[in-house]
């Protein structure tokens, strides 16, 4: 925020208080102004990234205190908008063991607005037989889809388990059955 002050008097102003206010900004500054002096003040304002999208008005008051009274000058408020930004970032952690893979997907809303995120994993029918998840998924166009509501800075986790062990047990059972058939046939 940049303010330009100008003393239009021939008098020295020993104390000039500048107050900048809005719903999300509160800044105070104190300075001096010499006779007919012009001065530019710069305020650095850093908003919290989780500040929701909104319209706001920035008002500036300049107060010059005297010994027995104070003079206050209020500037016309300046409107500004905090725009919505950001989105959901998935962080995937894999944990593999013997023919079993567990994926933990952390969905984090890094924006400043509430979102509904759709996380998709392509999986054909044969592959979906071996997949379990928490929460449950919905099948759309051959993909597994999770629809997750996330508030500002909220995190939700999906756990997807790919378990191919029953297939291995089935193959071993068929091999043992075939061997037993040839061993024990009369």
Instruction: Name the H helices within 17-152.
Output: 125-128
- 3-state secondary structure at position 29: strand
pLDDT at 85: 86
Give residue 14's Cα distance to chain centre.
45
Q: Show pLDDT as tens, one digit a residue, over the chain (186 residues).
A: 899 999 998 989 999 999 999 999 999 999 999 999 999 999 898 988 888 889 999 999 999 998 889 999 999 999 999 998 888 989 999 999 999 999 999 999 988 888 999 999 998 888 888 999 999 999 998 899 999 999 888 999 999 999 999 989 999 999 999 999 999 987
The dihedral sign for the CA sequence 131, 132, 133, 137: positive
| Structure-token match 């989780």, residue found | 50
- Between the alpha carbon of residue 35 and those of residues 19, 32, 91, the distances in Å are 22, 10, 60
Q: Are 159 and 104 in contact (CB under 8 A)?
A: yes
Task: Determine how many CB atoms are found less than 10 A away from the CB of residue 139.
Answer: 11
| pLDDT at residue 52 in the model | 86
How far is it, in rounded angstroms, from Cα 14 to Cα 16?
7
């Amino acid at each position: 925020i940049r303010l330009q002050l100008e003393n239009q008097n021939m008098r020295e102003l020993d104390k000039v208080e500048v107050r900048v206010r809005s719903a999300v900004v509160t800044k105070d500054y104190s300075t001096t102004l010499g006779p007919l002096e012009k001065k530019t003040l710069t305020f650095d304002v850093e908003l919290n990234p989780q500040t929701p999208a909104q319209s706001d008005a920035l008002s500036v008051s300049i107060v010059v205190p005297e010994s027995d009274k104070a003079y206050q000058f209020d500037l016309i408020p300046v409107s500004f908008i905090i725009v919505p930004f950001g989105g959901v970032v998935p962080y995937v952690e894999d944990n593999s063991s013997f023919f079993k893979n567990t994926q933990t997907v952390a969905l984090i809303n890094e924006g400043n607005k509430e979102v509904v995120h759709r996380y998709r994993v392509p999986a054909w029918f044969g592959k979906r037989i071996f997949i379990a998840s928490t929460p449950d998924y919905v099948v759309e166009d051959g993909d597994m889809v999770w629809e997750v509501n996330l508030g500002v800075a909220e995190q939700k986790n999906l756990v997807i388990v790919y378990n191919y062990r029953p297939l291995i047990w089935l193959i071993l059972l068929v091999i043992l059955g075939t061997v037993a058939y040839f061993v024990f046939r009369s």
